[in-house]
């Protein structure tokens, strides 16, 4: 892990920050004020309901999980394990109380490598509040306090050896994987059949298969567990069957642009150059399998030569993928009692060994920053992403961080909401589970709103939204 500069915090909120581009669109983004952040201070908003109801529920589940594992901790570590469990539970109960009573956000007291950055970020939030009280759970930006909660859960465990490596969300992630078994089999079977003749497909057919697997990866994002506050949320039916019916629910559909980018990159590659695609992962379980199938397709069809995966360095937003989840999933597939599934697992392990699949985790992904701050906060990560031909950002939280989690007008161009975050061409594959959306046609949002007030938070709608980074 690199040393991050401790001097930067809430960068996007600093007036005049960031490079000033010569291009017209750049200038516009630099001079326009950013809309206000989504926050629990807007009573009745989705942020408010999440902080009031869903986050305390998640904390209660975490506490229950620790209780349920008490005997296991005792068997593994003796009395020390039980003591650690008690300390972690009391830390988490205190956290839940702070949240529910809208107490000020407190500095982190652990000594993990990112603690200084979090505390710096808090200082910045304090400065921004301009004497309007301390940053607190309901008053501060939703994105900040929600990320902070997951960092405090991490702290509760990390500070309490010998249970410091226990992932409180592991069971839920595994359950989601097992309950999606039928859908995983259907997808692996389809894919293994496709592989048999992938070399003979003409461009039109290749495009058709890419579009299918992109949509499967998009709808795979319905299955996250923080949304259901940890209750089961798995894929029961074949993910390929309903794609046609779901097309009207794809509100922004830039798949053609993705195709052009990939096919042109493939045609331009020489012996020395390679096409690299990066996937900024979201949830483990079924969604991760859809991402791995898409990645395998990109390699097998030679649309890409290398895939780089970016996961989380500690358990995050209940179902997000850590390195352990990534390796666990591939192992599960490998050892499955189903030929097509195990074929997939074996191939994927091979891809990792050959170095054509590379897994990364960077501290930045579990910090509260919006992505427009990446170039300053994590220049090494930004520089790495610049080497990519295409960045695929999976899921809702990534979209919130791409667009800064603000009250944007629906018709604001995606380019503008990215607020100078353009390391490489990028695309968001996301089902809508929070009330922020840009890049819609005039009237499009209002029209859906009129008949379906929950359209932005139900996960029923999705986007494949592309930015060319020029």
Ligand X SMILES: O=P(O)(O)OC[C@@]1(O)O[C@H](CO)[C@@H](O)[C@@H]1O
Q: Which residues bind ligand X (CB under 6 A)?
A: 50, 54, 146, 221, 224, 226-227, 282-283, 317, 395-397, 433-434
Residues 6+ apart with CB under 8 A from 276: 304, 305, 306, 307, 308, 387, 388, 389, 390
Compare residues 259 and 317 and give the one whose CB is closer to ligand X: 317
CB 425 → ligand X: shortest distance, Å?
21
Q: Which residue lies nearer to ligand X by CB, 340 or 433?
A: 433
Q: Are 457 and 46 spatial neighbours (Cβ–Cβ below 8 Å)?
A: yes
402-431: which residues touch Mn ion (CB under 5 A)? none
Smallest separation (angstroms) from Mn ion to the CB of 284: 9
Closest distance of CB 5 from ligand X, Å: 27
Among 37, 160, 283, 428, binds Mn ion (CB under 5 A): 283
Instruction: Determine whether 434 is exposed, middle or buried from the number of CB atoms within 10 Å of its CB (0-12, 13-18, 19+).
Output: buried
Residue 382 CB, nearest approach to Mn ion (Å): 22
Among 85, 146, 224, 254, binds Mn ion (CB under 5 A): 224
Return d(Cα 403, Cα 256) in angstroms, integer: 22
333 vs 432 by CB, closer to ligand X:
432
Give yes or no for a contact between 308 and 277, defined as CB atoms under 8 angstroms apart. Answer: yes
User: Three-state SS for 302?
Assistant: coil
Using CB under 5 A as the binding rule, whether residue 291 contacts Mn ion is answered as no
Overall size of the chain counted in residues: 470
Q: Residue 287 CB, nearest distance to ligand X (Å)? A: 8
Q: Find the part of the chain contacting Mn ion (CB under 5 A) among 8-16, 34-42, 218-226, 372-380.
A: 218-226
For residues 298 to 327, the per-residue mask of contacts with Mn ion, x marking binding by CB under 5 A and - elsewhere, is: -------------------x--x-------
Structure tokens at 330: 């591939």
Q: Which among Mn ion, ligand X, none contacts residue 221 (Cβ within 5 to 8 A by kind)?
A: ligand X
Q: Does 282 bind Mn ion (CB under 5 A)?
A: yes
Residue 24 class from Cβ within 10 Å (0-12 exposed, 13-18 middle, 19+ buried)? exposed
- How far apart CA 380 and CA 362 sit, in angstroms, is 10
Q: How far is the CB of 398 from ligand X (least distance, A)?
A: 6
* From the list Mn ion, ligand X, none, partner contacted by residue 414 (C-beta under 5 to 8 A by kind): none
Q: Which stretch binds Mn ion (CB under 5 A): 13-21, 276-284, 286-294, 455-463?
A: 276-284
| Nearest residue (CB) to ligand X, 224 versus 370 | 224
Residue 316 C-beta: closest distance to Mn ion, Å: 7
Q: Which helix (H) or strand (E) holds 293?
A: helix 286-300
Structure-derived torsion over alpha carbons of residues 340, 341, 346, 350, reported in degrees to the nearest 10: 100
List the structure tokens of 415: 């380019």
Query: How many separate helices (H) and strands (E) can be counted in the chain?
Result: 20, 7
- Work out what residue 54 binds among Mn ion, ligand X, none; the CB cut-off runs from 5 to 8 Å by kind: ligand X
Task: Give the residue with the Cβ less far from Mn ion, 74 or 359.
Answer: 359
- Whose CA is closest to 430, among 390, 401, 453? 401
Pair of tokens at residue 341: 């599934």
CB 145, min distance to Mn ion, A: 17
Buried b (16+ CB within 10 A) or exposed e, 131-147: eeeebbbbbbbbbbbbb
Site size for Mn ion (CB under 5 A): 5
Residue nearest to ligand X (CB): 433
């Amino acid at each position: 892990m690199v040393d991050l500069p401790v001097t930067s915090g809430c960068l996007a909120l600093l007036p005049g920050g960031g490079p000033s581009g010569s291009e017209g669109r750049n200038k516009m983004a630099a001079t326009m004020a950013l809309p206000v952040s989504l926050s629990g201070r807007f009573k009745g908003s989705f942020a408010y309901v999440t902080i009031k109801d869903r986050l305390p529920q998640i904390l209660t589940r975490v506490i229950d999980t620790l209780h349920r594992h008490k005997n296991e901790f005792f068997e593994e570590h003796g009395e020390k394990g039980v003591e650690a469990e008690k300390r972690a539970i009391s830390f988490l109960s205190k956290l839940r109380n702070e949240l529910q009573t809208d107490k000020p956000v407190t500095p982190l007291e652990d000594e993990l490598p990112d603690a200084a950055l979090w505390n710096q970020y808090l200082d910045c939030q304090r400065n921004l509040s301009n004497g309007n009280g301390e940053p607190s759970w309901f008053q501060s930006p939703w994105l900040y306090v929600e990320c902070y909660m997951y960092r405090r859960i991490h702290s509760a465990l990390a500070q309490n050896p010998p249970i410091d490596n226990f992932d409180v969300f592991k069971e839920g992630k595994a359950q989601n994987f097992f309950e999606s078994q039928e859908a995983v089999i259907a997808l692996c079977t389809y894919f293994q059949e496709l592989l048999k003749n992938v070399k003979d497909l003409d461009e039109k057919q290749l495009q058709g298969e890419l579009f299918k697997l992109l949509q499967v990866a998009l709808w795979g994002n319905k299955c996250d567990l923080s949304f259901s506050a940890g209750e089961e949320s798995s894929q029961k039916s074949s993910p390929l069957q309903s794609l046609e019916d779901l097309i009207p629910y794809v509100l922004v559909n830039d798949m053609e642009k993705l195709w052009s980018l990939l096919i042109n990159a493939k045609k331009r590659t020489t012996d020395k150059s390679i096409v690299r695609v990066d996937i900024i992962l979201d949830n483990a379980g079924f969604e991760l399998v859809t991402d791995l199938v898409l990645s395998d397709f990109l390699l097998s069809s030679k649309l890409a030569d290398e895939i780089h995966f970016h996961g989380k360095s500690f358990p995050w937003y209940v179902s997000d993928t850590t390195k352990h989840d990534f390796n666990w999933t591939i192992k599960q597939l490998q050892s499955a009692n189903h030929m097509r599934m195990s074929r997939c697992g074996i191939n994927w392990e091979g891809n990792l060994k050959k170095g054509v699949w590379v897994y990364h985790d960077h501290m930045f992904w579990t910090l509260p920053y919006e992505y427009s701050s990446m170039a300053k906060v994590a220049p090494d990560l930004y520089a790495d992403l610049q080497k990519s031909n295409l960045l695929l950002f999976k899921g809702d939280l990534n979209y919130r961080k791409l667009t800064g989690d603000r009250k944007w007008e629906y018709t604001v161009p995606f380019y503008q909401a990215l607020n100078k975050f353009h390391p490489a061409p990028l695309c968001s594959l996301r089902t809508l589970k929070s009330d922020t959306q840009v890049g819609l046609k005039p009237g499009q949002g209002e029209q859906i709103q009129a008949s379906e007030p929950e359209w932005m938070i139900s996960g029923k709608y999705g986007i494949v939204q592309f930015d060319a980074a020029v």
